[in-house]
């Protein structure tokens, strides 16, 4: 496991997402109201690029004719076949027991920690006054 400085947090405003390549792997990073989540960018079904899907809410029903709509902005729908995944956990809603999108822990760190620590930033310029997205994988 290693920690990867991905970008300044301002690059992914709340409600948006962006695709990165980390350790050669495509990782989509989402910002949900200031919390960051990472997801392997290949849909477990047929490999669609999840980052390019539509973000929706969760429609559920207890009986025909009744529905609830919740968690707006927290569900990503694959751009190909429309399979739905929970951005926070990778949980699938079409086949929750068998399919899961792989998620990665993401945290934010202040530039000062990153510069002063034992780790040196090389390609993302790190400034002490900024916050950064850091992925562990």
Partner 1 sequence: MNVNVKPEAAKRTSSRLAIADCDIHPVRATPNAFDPWLSARWRDHLKTFGSPRRLAMQAGPAFPKGQPDAARRDALPPEGGRAGSSLSFMQAQHLDPNNVIFGVLNPLQSGQGVANPELCAALCAATNEWQVAEWTSKDTRLKASVVVPYESADVSAAEIRKWAGHKDFVQVLVLSRTGEPLGNRRYWPIYQAAAEAGLPVAVHAFGYGGGPITSTGWPSHYIEEMAGHAQSCQAGLASIVIEGVFERFPKLKIVMVEAGFAWAPAFAWRLDKTWKALRAETPHLKRLPSEYLKEHVWWTTQPMEEPEPRTHVLDTIGWMGWDRLLFATDYPHWDFDDPSLALPLPISEEQRLSFFRENALAVYGVKA
Task: List contacts with partner 1 (CB under 8 A).
Answer: 2-7, 18-23, 25-26, 41-42, 46-49, 52-54, 79-82, 114, 117, 119-124, 134
Least Å from the CB of residue 22 to partner 1: 5
Closest CB to partner 1 among 48 and 90?
48
Q: Are 104 and 40 in contact (CB under 8 A)?
A: yes
Cβ 106 to partner 1 shortest distance, Å: 13
Mapping DSSP to helix (H, G, I), strand (E, B) and coil, where does residue 102 land? coil
CB 11 → partner 1: shortest distance, Å?
8
Minimum CB distance to partner 1 smaller for 5 or for 103: 5
Token output for 51: 């980052």
The least CB distance from residue 104 to partner 1, in Å, is: 13
The Cα–Cα gap between 37 and 35 comes to 7
State which residue, 33 or 123, has the beta carbon closest to partner 1. Answer: 123
Closest CA to 114 of 2, 1, 3: 3
CB nearer to partner 1: give 44 or 90: 44
Residues 29-39: b if buried by 16+ CB within 10 A, e if exposed: bbbbeeebbbb
Length of the chain: 137
- Asked if 53 and 76 count as a contact pair (C-beta separation under 8 A), the reply is yes
């Amino acid at each position: 496991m290693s920690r990867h400085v991905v970008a300044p947090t301002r690059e992914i405003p709340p409600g948006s997402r962006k695709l990165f390549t980390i350790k050669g792997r495509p990782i989509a990073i989402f910002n949900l109201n200031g919390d960051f989540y990472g997801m392997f960018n290949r849909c477990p079904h047929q490999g669609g690029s999840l980052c390019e899907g539509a973000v929706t809410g969760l429609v559920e029903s207890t009986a025909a004719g009744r529905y609830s709509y919740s968690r707006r902005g927290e569900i990503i729908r694959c751009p190909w076949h429309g399979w739905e995944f929970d951005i926070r956990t990778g949980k699938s809603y079409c086949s929750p027991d068998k399919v899961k999108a792989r998620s990665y822990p993401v945290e934010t760190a202040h530039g000062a920690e990153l510069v002063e620590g034992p780790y040196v930033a090389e390609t993302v310029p790190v400034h002490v006054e900024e916050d950064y997205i850091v992925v562990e994988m």
